[in-house]
Amino acid sequence: MSVHRSSAWPLTWVALTLITYATLHPWSGWHWPEPQAFSWVLPKLPHEVLNDLIGNLLGYLPLGLVMCLAFLRSGVGALRAALMSVAFGSGWSYSLELIQYALPARVPSISDWTLNTLGAAWGALAAVTIHALGLVDVWHRWREKWFIPQAGHGLALIWLWPLGLLFPPPLPLGQGQLWPTLRVHLVEWTRDTPWQSWLLPDDPLLLWGQLHETAVRPEWLGWSEIATVALGLMAPMCVACAFARPRVTRMLLLTGAVLVAVATTTVSTAVNFGVQHALTWVSVPVVWGLLLGSLGGVVLVDRARTTCAALGVVVLLGLIGLIHLAPVDPYYAQTLQAWEHGRFIRFHGLSRWFGLLWPYVALTWLLVRLFQRDGGA
């Protein structure tokens, strides 16, 4: 068995998080269900919506796929891996359906549970088919040649990075502006307590403005935007070079990062503001930032993996610091509200959390890499 740490397990936990978040959204109005309203036998709804049926079927397919691959990667037999994946997916779906009794905005349904189970089964079947065709073994051989054994979580970070870009950040590629959102939630959680006064300004109406008040002088805003875009592009490059082995693999990953950054930001802008505005995010500072970030990636190609991890820590700290100095975007609050209510790509605002948290998770992973011994680093 390969000593490489599989990225299928981290992706399994991400899939579970996505499913749980979407199933229980909006996560408000919790109440203890009345005894006569609760039943271990899920009810059949009188009316079914086709989009919901398709969503329930397809929503669990990735979970069944990555979980079955994770079991197979761990040495479990194909039949047992498939049965375990379907059983877990079905049990998880049933548990979430029961929890919906405690949410006024959600309605449990036996149809949802049946389709969720079927989706998990389809995903497990796809995983077993891929394994039987030998494609998993091919990927393992490539991975052993291209990446270090501890690359599993790093690969998951790279694959999840574009999801955070689907929600438009304050500046292009400027992920990680966590404090404003965290402060708003802290104000909500400490409502009617003595601690709320520590978080609120004297005039609560100024809260949003204070959260985004820029500390950069106007004449330096352009340079700040250039640096933010450059660091935002270099962040996934540093993560990739911290686990990639051959030079050609690094070049492919760095080129892919540039293409994915441009494509995802364009799609996000088009979806949020209209196709006619798809390229309005491109400006002179942004182009300079992309250019400098690409040149920074070239520097990483021949650096040792430990050096890339250390540079990644510096890059991410710089990105987090700069994005918290970003000025107010007049369209940002409106876009934020639209995403919170689940418009566009229907993650109910979850993509925004990917963008907010990705730099911190990547920073943690890079710090762990720096303290691990890796021969040939």
Q: Tokens 């107010």, residue?
A: 328
SS3 111: helix
Q: Tokens 């760095």, residue?
A: 254
Helices vs. strands in the chain: H and E counts, helices first: 16, 0
CB distance 113 to 41 below 8 Å: no
Question: Has residue 343 got a pLDDT over 60?
Answer: no
| Least confident range of 1-5, 96-100, 257-261, 346-350 | 1-5
Lookup: tokens for 357? 């948290």
CA within 13 Å, CB half, 275: 0
pLDDT at 199: 63
List CB contacts of 103: < 8 A, sequence separation 6 or more.
24, 27, 29, 30
Highest mean pLDDT among 1-5, 27-31, 82-86, 214-218: 82-86
DSSP letter for 244, please: B
SS3 215: coil
Q: In terms of pTM, does the model score above 0.75?
A: no
List CB contacts of 4: < 8 A, sequence separation 6 or more.
140, 143, 144, 147, 149, 151, 152
Residue 218 identity:
P
pLDDT in tens, 277-321: 788 888 999 999 999 999 999 999 888 889 999 999 999 999 999
Question: Has residue 165 got a pLDDT over 80?
Answer: yes
